[in-house]
Structure 1
Amino acid sequence: MKILHTSDWHVGKVLKGQSRVGEHRDALAQVVEVAQAESPDLVIVAGDLYDTAAPTPESTRLVTRALSALRRTGAQVVAIGGNHDNGPALDALRPWAEAAGVALRGSVRDNPAEHVIDGSTADGEAWRLVALPFLSQRYAVRAVEMYELTAAEAVQTYADHVGRVLGRLTEGFDEPDRVHLVTGHLTVVGAQAGGGEREAHTVLNYAVPATVFPTGAHYVALGHLHRAQQVLGPCPIRYSGSPLAVDFGEEENRPSVTIVEVTARTAARVREIPITAAAPLRTVRGTIAELAELTDTTAWLRVYVREAPRAGLREEVQDLLPRALEVRIDPEMLPSTGAAARAAQRAGRSPRELFGDYLDTRGQADDGVRELFDDLFEEATK
C-alpha cells in the first residue's frame, strides 16, 4: 500500500502580524496535487491542523476543504488532533468528517476501539491504523485508567502512560497478513525539534522513548516536530515535518510530505516530496548599504541591522525591504548594559532622566529620540 504522511499544517498562523492564509492555501493545494499524482491508498494528517485552539471560520474552511480534497483523490484520510488543536472542537466536526469520508480523531475517547481504524486498499491489502491524538500529562493519567490498565501511580512518568496506552491499542499487531500503522502527535527522545514548536510540549517531561512503539508496526507516522526526519527505533518511525516554515526558527527546514510504500511482508520505503508553495523565511544581517543590495523579493525576512540605533532606522529598513517582518539591531552593535544599567537609580529621578540613562546604556545618541519621548510624555500626562 502507499501512504501520504503530512502534519503540522498550523493553519491560521500569524507571523509577526503577517497573515499567511494565502500561503497555507497554496501549500495545502500542493499537498493535494501530490496526492493526485501519487494516488496513495491512505493519507495521514498527524496533528496540529490549526495553529490555535480557537481557529477562525476562514481557517476552518481551509482545513475542511483540504481534507475533503484529499479524500476526493480516492485515498482514505485519517487526521488526529495535536497540542495546538482543540480536541473536543475537532470531535464536534466528526459528523461532517464521517459524511465526507474522513476519519477525524480530536481527543482520546473512552472506548479504545475509537482509535483503531481498519481498512483495505483497492487491491485488497488489509491495514490497521492506531490513531492517538495529543495527550496532555493530566489526560494521559486518565487515559491509562479508563483503558483499564495498571493503576496510575504518582511516580510514573508521561512516557509510562503513553507506552501503556499504545500497548493497549496495538494489541494484535502480530497478525501476519495486515499492514500495521501508528500515528501520534508527540516528541520522541533523540528527535530534533524544528525550531517553532511550543516548548512546553517538547521538553523532557513530554518526551517518550522510541520503545513505546511495537516492533510489529510497519510504519509510525508522527507529528509535532516540524523538521522532516527519521527516528531510530524498533520499527520505522518518522516525522513528516510541516509543509511550510511557520517561524524564523525553522528557516533551515525542508517543507515536505512523506510518501511511504509498504506491504505486510516488506519493509517500508520512504521518500520526501518537497512542498515549495509557501514563501521561505530568511535571516539577513548587514548595514543599510549592504541590505540595499539584497535582491530576494520572495522571502519573509528577519533583519539584524549592523548600525548604531537611531530614530527612524526601522522605517528606513522597511522602506528598503518591504518583506521585513522583524527588524532588530545586531546584538554585536550594542554595548554591554550590565554595569551602566545598574548605576541608574530610580529614586528622585524624572522620567526624562531615567529614559536618558536607558538610551545611554543602549548606545543611543540621537537627540531626536529624546525629543520624541518628551513630546509623548507631555501628551500622556496632560
Structure 2
Amino acid sequence: MKILHTSDWHVGKVLKGQSRVREHVDVLAQVVEIARAERPDLVIVAGDLYDTAAPTPDATKLVTRALSALRGTGAQVVAIGGNHDNGAALDALRPWADAAGVALRGSVRDTAADHIIDGETAGGERWRVVALPFLSQRYAVRAVEMYDLTAAEAVQTYADHLGRLMGRLAEDFDAPDRVHLITAHLTVVGARTGGGEREAHTVMGYAVPATIFPTSTHYVALGHLHRAQQVPGPCPVHYSGSPLAVDFGEEENVPSVSIVEVTAQTAARVRHVPVTAGTPLRTVRGTLEELGRIDDPDAWLRVYVRETPRAGLREEVQELLPRALEVRVDPEMLAAATTAPRTAQRAGRSPRDLFGDYLDSRGHADDDVRNLFNQLLEEVDG
C-alpha cells in the first residue's frame, strides 16, 4: 500500500502581522495535487491542522475543504489533533468528518477502540492505524502526582503512561497479513527540532523514547516537529515535517510531504516530495547600502541591519525592502557594544543622565530619542 504522510499545517498562522492564508491555500492545493499524482491508498495528517485553538471560520473552511479534497482523490484519510488544535472542537466536527469519509480524532477518548481505525486498499491489502492525538503531560500525569514528583520522575511517569497506552492500543499488531500503522503528535527522544517550534511542548519533559512503539509496527507517522526526519527506533519512525515554514527559525527546512510504500511482508520505503507553493523565508544582514543591493522579491525577510540604532531606522529598511517583516539591529553589533558596559552611579543623578548612559551603553547615540524622552519626562513631571 501507499501512504501520504503530512502534518503541522498550522492553518491560520500569522507571521509578524502578515497573514499566511493565501500561502496555505496554495500549499494545501499542492498537497492535494501530490495526492492526485501519487494516488495513495491512505493519507495521514498527524496533527496541528490549525495554528490556534480558536481558528477563524475561514481557517476551518480551508482545513475541511482540504481534508475533503484529499478524500476526493480516492484515498482514505485519517487526521488527528495536535497541541495547537482544540481537540474537543475537532471532535465536534466528527459528524461532518464521518459523512465526508474522513476519520478525525481530536482528543484522547476513554474507549480504546475509538483510536483504532481499520481499512483495506483497493487491491485488498488490510491495514490498521492507531490514531493518538496530542496528550498533554498534565492530562496524562494527574496534577496531584506532578506536585509530588520530581521533574525527572514526572518525565518518566509521562513516558511510562504513553508506553502503556500505546501497548494497549497496539496489542493486536500481530496479524501477519495486515499493515500496522501508528500516528501520533508528540516528541520522540533523539529527534531534531525544526528550529521554530514553540519550546513549551517540545522540551524533554514531553519527549518519549521510541521504544514505546511496538517492533511489529510497519510505520509510525508523527507530527509535532517541523523538520522531516527519521528517528532511530525499533520500527520505522518518521516526522513528515511541515509543508510550510511557519517562522524564520525554520527557514532552512525543506517543506515536504512523505510518501511511504509498504506491505505486510516488506519494510517501509520512504521518500519526501517537496512542497514549493509557500513563500520562502530568508534572513539577511548588512548595512543600508548592502541591503539596498538585495534582490529577493519573492521571500519574506528578517533583516539584521548593521547600523547604529536610531529613530526611523526600521522605516528606512522597509523602504528598501518592502517584504521585511522583522527588522532588528544586528545582535552581533549590540553584543560588541555591551561587552564592557559602564555601570552608572544612580545616586544623585537625574533620569535624563541615567537614560543617556543607557543609550550610550547600547550604542544608541540618537539626539531625537533623547529629546523624545525629555518631552515625555516633562509631561510626567508637569
Taking structure 1 as the reference length, the TM-score comes to 0.93
Once residues 317 and 324 of structure 1 are traced to their aligned partners in structure 2, the CA distance between those partners, rounded to angstroms, is 8
Equivalent residues in 2 for 1:48-127 (5 A)? 48-127=48-127
Which letter does structure 1 place at the counterpart of 2:103? A
Distance 1:377 1:12, change over 3 A: farther
* CA positional deviation for 1:378: 4.8
Aligned 8 A contact 2:11 2:49 in 1 = yes
Please give the secondary structure, in 2, of the residue aligned with 1:370.
Answer: helix
The structure-2 alpha-carbon separation of the partners of 1:155 and 1:80, relative to structure 1 and needing over 3 Å to count, comes to closer
Partner of 2:344: 343
- Which residue pairs with 1:5 in the alignment? 5
Identity %: 80
- Counterpart CA distance in 1 for 2:348 and 2:301 is 43
Query: Over residues 28-57 of structure 1, what are the superposed CA-to-partner deviations in whole Å (9 max), with x where a residue is unaligned?
Result: 110011011111110000000011111111
Q: Distance in 2 between matches of 1:90 and 1:338?
A: 51
Q: Which amino acid aligns with 1:204?
A: M
Q: CA deviation at 1:379?
A: 5.6
Give the TM-score normalised by structure 2.
Answer: 0.93
Partner of 1:312: 312
Tell me, in whole angstroms, the C-alpha distance in 1 between the residues paired with 2:342 and 2:89: 49
1:217-366 alignment, distance < 5 Å: 217-334=217-334, 335-337=336-338, 340=341, 342-343=343-344, 345=346, 349-366=349-366
1:148-173 deviation digits (Å, cap 9, x = unpaired): xxxxx979521111111000000110
Preserved contact between residue 28 and residue 66 of structure 2 (Cα < 8 Å):
yes
> What is aligned with 2:14?
14
Structure 2: which 5+ runs fail to align? 143-152
| Root mean square deviation of aligned Cα | 1.7
Contact 2:90 2:106 in 1 (8 A): yes
Moved more, 13-22 or 112-121: 13-22
Work out the CA distance in 1 between the residues paired with 2:378 and 2:333: 31
Give aligned pairs, total: 371
Distance of 1:116 and 1:203 partners within structure 2: 28
SS at match of 1:61: helix
CA deviations on 1:207-247 (whole Å, 9 max, x unpaired) are 11111101111100000000000111111110000001001
Offset at residue 357 of structure 1 (A): 2.2
Match of 2:207 in 1: 207
**Does the Cα contact within 8 Å between 2:141 and 2:157 map onto a contact in 1?**
no
| 1:339 Cα offset (Å) | 5.8
Offset, 1:373: 2.8
Q: Distance in 2 between matches of 1:49 and 1:349?
A: 55
- Cα pair 1:181 1:219 within 8 Å, conserved: yes
- Post-superposition shift, 1:202? 1.1
Pick closer, same or farther for the CA change 1:320–1:155 going to 2, 3 Å: closer
**Number of the residue aligned with 1:162:** 162
Q: Determine the C-alpha separation between the residues in 2 that align with 1:156 and 1:360.
A: 49
Structure 1 residue runs without a partner (length 5+): 143-152
- Larger deviation, residues 351-360 vs 156-165: 351-360
How far has the Cα of 1:141 moved from its partner?
Answer: 3.8
